[in-house]
Structures are given as structure tokens and as C-alpha cells.
Amino acid sequence: MANRGKDFLRRVVEEDLKSGKYSKIVTRFPPEPNGFPHIGHAKSISINFGIAKEYGGECNLRMDDTNPTTENIEFVEALKDAVEWLGFKWSGDVRYTSDYFPQLYNYAIKLIQMGKAYVDSISEEEIREYRGTVTTAGRRSIYAERSVEENLDLFNRMRNGEFKEGEHVLRAKIDMSSPNMKMRDPLLYRIKRATHFRAGDKWAIYPMYDFAHPLSDYIEGVTHSICTLEFENNRDIYNWLIETLELEPPRPYQYEFARLNINYTVMSKRKILELIEKNVVSGWDDPRLPTIAGLRRRGYTPEAILSFCEQIGVAKANSIVDIAQLEFAIRDDLNPKVPRVMSVFKPLKVTIENYSGFEEINASYYPHDVPKEGSRKLPFSKEIYIEQEDFMENPPKGYYRLTPNQPVRLKYAYIISCEKVIKDESGNIVEIRARYYPNSKSGSDSSGIKVKSAIQWVEANSAKKIEVRLYDRLFKTEIPEGIEDINPNSLKIIENALIEPAVIEDKTNNRFQFERHGYFYRESGERAVFNRIVPLKDSWSKKLQRGRRERVKERRQVEGRVIPMTPEEKILFERYTKEHNLNREVANTLARDNRLSQFYREALQEFNSPIAIANIITNEVARELKVKNLDELKFSPKDIADLVKMLEDETISTKIAKGVFEEMSRSGKEPIRIVEERGLQQINDKSLILSVVKEVIHRNPENLKKFKDGNRRLQGFFIGEVLKATNGKANPKIVNELVIRELNR
């Protein structure tokens, strides 16, 4: 069947179009303008606008403005903004339920005339009491016996403002013993003496949701009225109204889907408003909030939010989605798109004593596996800053960065070694005096010096100061009860971080990956302030496969609630996030899985590179462990550590690493042996790669011509061919650089 795999809403829509029930689909997004929209609304927006778009229909944006005391124009603007920012267009003008007040009033008159509605005059309390309970029937108030004339007269006077609030209400006359409590003579109108932000003081009565909503749908010619599950029982009123009023077809039908809930946050305008009023957050667009405005200011893209909505799908059962899924979506979106740059959050000065002068190093903005153009100049001089944690005087075993006895590569630049450690009176390291190796420059290294890693740095005089804002989850508990569950560390500010100058001078990008630190977004305004959108994650597993795997995992999470951690797991989780700097998603996976956790700790003993090792374990090893026991694995934690070592010192590329992993898990051979026997070492020799590049270009004259004629995408083709010709061994960064150079000759 063509319908298979579609969600239930789309199946309904397809069926209705096929059967000719409607010739065109009309949906609507009907928010109440009493707050800023949140990511739950994004889900509703993506469903309503998405379905209309897919099936050639239309979607209205309707402000459900029936409560004058909580609504205002600022919220209307925020709602319009959110829909547009997500990339949707509403049909015609924005609509307002308040514009239908006269029509709605007439429908009410008609119901009264039909004997189907009456003015009730008992108190709110009595109304509740008379309604009965789920197990006992309710009873009607004596006012239900009023004549049509009396009802018409009272209702008219209610409208004219002759009564006080609560004195009378208009109710539908349905069934006080209905098993559906909602059908026990629901309220249709109430008296409210307040100035409406659009209708002014014209009305002293306002329609209730249950009355206004179905009829507004009908007035607009809506076909599918999609709402969240809590309105399931209201559907009977919806149908009763449309049927009782004998409205001309076509008529709308209501369908319900599960509301979006996410852990570690709150998702209701009322609760968000409380956070604002209590100054827990700075406003509706605080980057820690799940509001669209907050996510946007944090640096989320509409693409990521929509892809998140698509991944969680449309379900009939309520569940809590793990916030890690949202974080996955933004990483997945930004990873291939944004430039990668160097920054230093906790600077340690390094003076390179044997370097004089100044140079600018051309460095690619994009990682080697992203066939995207763009580079920037990195200034370099004898004074630079590195991250404090990238130097250790007394390193533990397996520390691969700079030490008094261990040289390190400055990424994209030279290898340096430490000559002298300068300390202040209290013994803090304040400066490193270093030496560089002139023939060790990245890309043309003939120094023969072996280093175990490359670290980031910025040049001291050209580096720019920025403020960095590191956000964490707003609540410390998965299902927050209230303000007492707020995470006190949800915002950490680093006032004087350093960034390479290109980031400030770059006028086309405002999102960057700060290597090792995460994805960042520049706040608008004069001051250079960067919000961390999300920390980094996995850097080596093949993207596509990872995507698929995550999605499978995520679907499973959606089905059930997130299980809280045991105290032991919490301790591990804390340690992994705080001490090992693992991101929460990875730490969460490790902490909750005994076998993975054990494997991880053993690998760490061999080689102290927590992030890289944890990533491989939570992805590749975890996959193996789905079908095997620990003792059935053919590789050891040490093998994983060795593999990571080779990756980090660039002996092999990520692509090759993947293959090596597969072979070692199949054959049980040590990774170092696999690499040596099969000659998988990465080719870094520029002239060798250049000859392959020239050869590939020479063999593909037609594609070269198309490229020259403007099909820039073919650059990816050439890069792919060169990689293929070297069995994936050529250093992709160099391939990228040379292909671009040669193609543009």
C-alpha cells in the first residue's frame, strides 16, 4: 500500500482526498496569543503546515483570542514570527477568532432558538457540583427550563453588559448523565468585563474554546482540525455543535495527536511565564528556554527544529522525548554546514623563542569529509595562546599533548616543544617558552618529528576577545516539578575567551564550530558575544550510519518514558560530564550501561583521550554489544585505545579507522597490525597526491568542463575520485585543498 509508513494523520488525509470527501485540504494552526510559542508549537506548526503543503492544500494561522485578560499583540507578533522563521506561509491574512464574534453570536442565538442552549444562573461552584462525577450522573439546574424568549432576552442583556461576571453563563443543553463529562451541558459563553486587544470594549461576553473552536474551523472551511490529545473528549462537543446546527457540508473533523514533552524542561506558556516573572530567566527569548525565540537566539536553525519534529513523528500516545534528540538534530544540521575555527577559553601564553616575524597560514574552514569550499587566514607569530589544559608539567600516562618532554603540533602550523615553564610566586604556570621546528609546517612536514596530537591555539596580537555563554539544561531533574528543580549552573559565562580574528571579520557566517568546544552562535549587537548552541559530540563514526542508528534508538525512546538513573549511574554520569568532559548524550549512554562503562574505563587506562574513546564505544562498540556478550568481542579495550591513538596522530583517516574497526571486530587482529600489513597509513605527501589529482582531472574532461561552466558541485565528484584512486588513504584535507586549487586554475 502506498500509505504504509505514513503517520495516521497523513493516512486520513490521503483517504479523504481519494474518496472525494474533500477536493482540497485546509488545516489551521490555532494558538492562543497568551505567550511566546515553544517547541511543542513547532511540532503542531510542522504538522499543520506540513500536511497542507504536502497535499496541495492550505493552512491558516488563527489567533484563538477569546480571553481578553491574558492576550496581547506582542504575542501575536511572536507567533507570526515563529511560523515564518520555520519557513511556512499561512493562507491569506492572519485570522482572529475575535473577527468571528458576530457570527459566533448568531450561532448561539440559533441554538437558543432550537432549544439547544440556555442561560444558567447558578454559581461556578454549583455548576461544578451539579456536573456529577465519572461514576455518578449530574443534574440540571432549574434554569435549564427557561423559555426560549427568556433565554434570548437574558443572553442579549449579557452581551450588552447588564450583568456582573459570573452572574450568568450560556450552556449547551446536551446530556447531564453522559459518560463523557464534557458533554454535561458545556459552557458556551461567559461574561467578562475586560478590554480585548482587538475588539476593544464591544463585547461583554466571550465564547468558550469548545464553542468558538469548531465553529471558527467551520467558518474558515477547515477540513482537518488537528489538535493534541487532551482535547479527545472535547471532540464529542465539536461534532454535536456542527451536527446540531445542521451546518452545510463540507464540515471539519477533529483528530488528535500526542503532545510533545521533553525532559529537563517545561513546556507550557504558563510555566514559562512563571520563570520569567520570577527572574529565573531573562525573558521569553532566554536561550535556555524551549521557546522558538529562545532556541533561535541560542543558535538553533529552523532546519534542525523541523528535522527534530519529523524524527519524533506523529504518535497517538503521550511520551517524553529525550532532550538529547533535539541536540542531535542541531549537531546533525550544523556539522556539514558551519566553519570550524580555533578558540581558547582558558589562555596560557606560549612564546616561541626561535621564531621571528609574522606569517598568515591558509587553513580550510571545513573538515576534510565535507566537500565545501572556504578557508581563512590564520595569523602566526612568536606569541600565541593555547588552552591551559593542553599543557601538563607532570602528565599522567597517556597524556598526548604538550609536556616538558613531549612536542605537540599547533594545528595547521608547526610542531613546538617546551623549553621552559614560567611560574608566578604561588607556583601557577603563567607562560611556556617554546621552540618551533621550521621544517615541520603542516602539509609540508619534513621534520621527521613524531607528535601524538595537534592542539588549538590563537596568535596573541590578532586574537579577539569574546564573551562566551555556555548553556546547560535549565532544570536538573528530568521531570521538573517547579523552580526548586532549576539547575543553578544552566548558564556559565566566560568573559575573556580568545578567538581567531577571522570569526569577527567574517560577515557571512554567524554560526561556527569552535573546535573541541562546541557549536556557537553570535548574538546580534555590537559586543562580540557567542552563545553555545550545543557541545560537540561524535567526530569519527560515519555520518550516515550514525544517523540511521540514532534514529532507530530515538524511535524506541519515544515509545516509553525515560527511566530515571540509579544513584550509582548518576555518580558516573556526573564524573563523565564534569571530569571527562563528555557530552551528556554520550555520558548518559555510558553511565546507564555497565558493560560499556567498564569497557570505557579500561580503554582509558591505556590511552587517556576520554572524548574520542567514549565516542567510539558508545557508537561502534555499543553496536557490537547489541548482539554479543563482552567476552565474545574479538577486540580489547587496548585495541580501541590504539585505534584512537592512530586517529589522533593522523596515522589513519577517520574513514580508514572505520574499516580497521570493522576488520578488528571480525578477525580479532590488532589494529596496528592491520594498518601496517595492509599499508593503510594515511598519505600526507603533497606531491604524490597532486599527481593523482592531476591524473583524475585529466581523465574527466567533461566534468571539468561542466565545473568550469558553473556546476560547482562537481568539486565533490573530483574529491571523491581522488580518494577512491588512493583507496581512501590520501589525507582528505590535502585532497580537498589540491582539488580546489587545480580545478580553479
Query: Which residues are designated catalytic?
Result: 32, 259, 269
From 9, 16, 30, 478, residue interacting with ligand ATP (rule: CB under 6 A): 30
Site for ligand ATP in 497-526 (CB under 6 A): none
Q: Specify the amino acid at residue 252.
A: P
Q: Which stretch binds ligand ATP (CB under 6 A): 24-32, 388-396, 451-459, 473-481?
A: 24-32
Give yes or no for residue 80 binding ligand ATP (CB under 6 A): no
Give yes or no for residue 260 binding ligand ATP (CB under 6 A): yes
Residue 448 sits at the vertex; the CA angle it makes with 444 and 451, to the nearest 5 degrees, is: 95
Distances (CA, A) of 721 to 161, 717, 729: 79, 6, 12
From 12, 25, 26, 40, residue interacting with ligand ATP (rule: CB under 6 A): 40
Nearer to ligand ATP, 198 or 269 (CB): 269
Report, in Å, the least distance between residue 486 CB and ligand ATP.
Answer: 19
Give yes or no for residue 31 binding ligand ATP (CB under 6 A): yes
Cis status, amide bond into 480, omega within 30 of 0: no
Report, in Å, the least distance between residue 40 CB and ligand ATP.
Answer: 2
Q: What distance in Å separates the CA atoms of residue 298 and residue 285, rounded to the nearest whole number? A: 9
Residue with cell 562566551: 468
Report, in Å, the least distance between residue 255 CB and ligand ATP.
Answer: 11
Q: Which stretch binds ligand ATP (CB under 6 A): 25-33, 167-175, 526-534, 559-567?
A: 25-33
Residue with cell 548552541: 533
Strand 464-471 with 491-499, pairing? antiparallel
Q: What distance in Å separates the CA atoms of residue 182 and residue 237, rounded to the nearest whole number? A: 7
Nearer to ligand ATP, 260 or 306 (CB): 260
Query: What grid cell was written down for 634?
Result: 574479538
Give yes or no for residue 140 binding ligand ATP (CB under 6 A): no
For ligand ATP, what does the binding mask look like between residues 189 and 228, x meaning CB under 6 A? --------------------------------------xx
Q: Which stretch binds ligand ATP (CB under 6 A): 29-37, 401-409, 585-593, 598-606?
A: 29-37
Report, in Å, the least distance between residue 601 CB and ligand ATP.
Answer: 39
Q: What distance in Å separates the CA atoms of residue 43 and residue 35, rounded to the nearest whole number? A: 16
Query: What grid cell was written down for 619?
Result: 557508537
Report, in Å, the least distance between residue 44 CB and ligand ATP.
Answer: 4
Q: Are 610 and 572 in contact (CB under 8 A)?
A: no
Size of the site for ligand ATP (CB under 6 A): 16
Q: Which stretch binds ligand ATP (CB under 6 A): 232-240, 261-269, 569-577, 717-725?
A: 261-269
For ligand ATP, what does the binding mask look like between residues 224 and 253, x meaning CB under 6 A? ---xx-------------------------
Report, in Å, the least distance between residue 699 CB and ligand ATP.
Answer: 54
Specify the 3-state DSSP secondary structure of 276.
helix
Provide the 8-state DSSP code for 619: I
Q: Are 520 and 533 in contact (CB under 8 A)?
A: yes
- Any bridge partners for residue 512, and if so which? 520
From 139, 193, 259, 655, residue interacting with ligand ATP (rule: CB under 6 A): 259
Residue 428 sits at the vertex; the CA angle it makes with 424 and 431, to the nearest 5 degrees, is: 70
Specify the 3-state DSSP secondary structure of 596.
helix
Provide the 8-state DSSP code for 24: S
Report, in Å, the least distance between residue 398 CB and ligand ATP.
Answer: 46
Report, in Å, the least distance between residue 28 CB and ligand ATP.
Answer: 9
Report, in Å, the least distance between residue 16 CB and ligand ATP.
Answer: 20
Alpha helices in 560-709 (DSSP H): 567-578, 584-592, 594-606, 610-616, 622-625, 637-648, 654-667, 671-677, 686-699, 701-708
Report, in Å, the least distance between residue 401 CB and ligand ATP.
Answer: 45
Give yes or no for residue 368 binding ligand ATP (CB under 6 A): no
Q: Are 596 and 589 in contact (CB under 8 A)?
A: yes
Q: What distance in Å separates the CA atoms of residue 35 and residue 63, rounded to the nearest whole number? A: 12
Nearer to ligand ATP, 274 or 485 (CB): 274
From 147, 268, 354, 598, residue interacting with ligand ATP (rule: CB under 6 A): 268
Nearer to ligand ATP, 40 or 637 (CB): 40
Ramachandran class of 427: left when φ > 0, alpha when ψ lies in -120 to 50, beta otherwise:
left
Nearer to ligand ATP, 227 or 344 (CB): 227
Nearer to ligand ATP, 32 or 467 (CB): 32
For ligand ATP, what does the binding mask look like between residues 58 and 77, x meaning CB under 6 A? ------x-------------
What residues contact 300, with CB distance under 8 A and at least 6 apart?
330, 533
Nearer to ligand ATP, 30 or 671 (CB): 30
Give yes or no for residue 269 binding ligand ATP (CB under 6 A): yes
- Any bridge partners for residue 529, and if so which? 467
Give yes or no for residue 294 binding ligand ATP (CB under 6 A): no
Q: What distance in Å separates the CA atoms of residue 18 and residue 450, rounded to the nearest whole number? A: 68
Distances (CA, A) of 715 to 29, 84, 293, 515, 736: 43, 34, 37, 25, 9
Nearer to ligand ATP, 216 or 406 (CB): 216
Nearer to ligand ATP, 70 or 351 (CB): 70
Report, in Å, the least distance between residue 67 CB and ligand ATP.
Answer: 10
Nearer to ligand ATP, 40 or 50 (CB): 40
Q: What distance in Å separates the CA atoms of residue 659 and residue 656, rounded to the nearest whole number? A: 5
Q: 498, 235, 512: which is closest to 349 by C-alpha? A: 498
Q: 437, 443, 454, 432: which is closest to 384 by C-alpha? A: 432
From 41, 173, 532, 580, residue interacting with ligand ATP (rule: CB under 6 A): 41
Residue nearest to ligand ATP (CB): 40
Provide the 8-state DSSP code for 68: T
- Per CB under 6 A, residues contacting ligand ATP are 30-32, 40-41, 43-44, 64, 227-228, 259-260, 267-270
